[in-house]
Amino acid sequence: MASRGFCRELYSCIFDYSTPRIALIKSRKVGVMNRLIQLGILAYVIGWVFVWEKGYQEFDTVVSSVTSKVKGVAVTNTSALGTRIWDVADYVIPPQEENAFFVMTNLIITQNQTQGHCPDLPDQSTICNSSHDCIPGFISTHSFGVQTGQCVAYNETVKSCEVYAWCPVENDTELPEPAFLKEAENFTVLIKNNIWFPKFNFSKRNILPNVTTSYLKTCLYDRMHNPFCPIFRLGSIVSEAGESFRDMAIQGGVMGIQIRWDCDLDKKFSKCVPRYSFRRLDSRELDHNVSPGYNFRSAKYYKNINDVESRTLMKVYGIRFDILVFGTATVLCDVIVFQFFKKRYYYREKKFKHVEDYDELSGNEEHGSNP
């Protein structure tokens, strides 16, 4: 019985023919609703997919590399250091970073430190009246060394717990104002940015083809007059972000240099150009200004003729510039180019390469080589 049912279904599937029946409903209400739905779908496809989202284009995101070179010289005159020249080897720390550079703007320097015993910097955890207030071997979170258990004079009026540390300990309670290297405002940086859109094998750099060596030696970026000059004055970067360089230089901070490449590769090569913008990246809340700015410590070590090691400790404040590169490239989809453009046959010829069958071509060559 089951086999008969299967054969009947198979016979019906092969030899029977069915066609859909269409009912024409003569109703204005249904007809208008149908057309409105069709118009809505059409508006969505044209308005959203094609016009707004540019669904007829292919997209690719940018692959980027960045290098930078800072230039500038400053002169300082202080009681600790005397008159001194500062060049790029002194204030750019480290010499190279990935997609970033740091410029020192302020400094607390402690010279001729050696390892030994000395009073710790007075604070709530180190001020003492007698040795009973000091714990041998104790290390405070903010201490510069290990407590010896002795209470010693820090100055004529204050006593603090003695520590085994690099002595004398650093005193960072007061920052130089104005900033130690306030002249850094006039330093400049050359930014070289190379980009690549791998899907379209398109590459370019921010030093545009029309830029000459003589122009590069004299130009400075200006949003209105020199928007494609890759050399930037540090003070202008900060001011364009709505900040004061003199204020920021005291405690340091983090700035973002944004380079955007939005390229329509259906247009001329020269139309793909970088756009620069600037903003401050580190959080700065006026009503909650705890631990502001950007700083770190660095030291230079020495040994005297008696083989005694000493060092110069530097608490460095400055501005870190992060270079952020964004970008997309778009190309008109092949289906439109090859089917609807007037020059579609020309585009097809350039895109496709016709190659003869290898086996057949090899056979013809062999026959041709025989006498």
Q: Which residues are annotated as a binding site for ATP?
A: 69-71, 188, 295-297, 315
Could you give the residue ranges of the DSSP H alpha helices within the chain? 2-15, 28-43, 88-91, 213-218, 234-240, 245-251, 334-340, 344-351, 358-369
Instruction: Dig out the tokens for 284 from the structure.
Output: 């700065």
Q: How far apart are CA 310 and CA 296, in angstroms?
A: 20
Radius of gyration of the chain (CA): 36
Dihedral (Cα; 330, 334, 336, 342), 10-degree rounding:
110
- Our measurement of the distance from residue 111's CA atom to the centroid of its chain's CA atoms, rounded to an integer in Å, reads 36
Report helix, strand or coil for 4: helix
Q: Which among 108, 86, 109, 106 is positioned nearest to 248, based on CA atoms? A: 106
Check: CB of residue 167 under 8 Å from CB of residue 154: no
DSSP state of 107: E
Q: Which among 180, 167, 155, 65 is positioned nearest to 117, based on CA atoms? A: 167
**Count of beta carbons in the 10 Å neighbourhood of residue 274:** 23
Phi, psi angle pair for 31, to nearest 5°: -65, -45
Annotated binding site: 69-71, 188, 295-297, 315
Alpha-carbon distance values, 321 to 63, 89, 96 (Å): 20, 17, 12
Q: How far apart are CA 93 and CA 96, in angstroms?
A: 8
E runs forming strands in the chain: 57-61, 63-71, 74-78, 82-86, 100-119, 145-153, 159-167, 188-197, 202-205, 231-233, 253-264, 275-280, 295-303, 309-332
Q: How far apart are CA 156 and CA 208, in angstroms?
A: 65
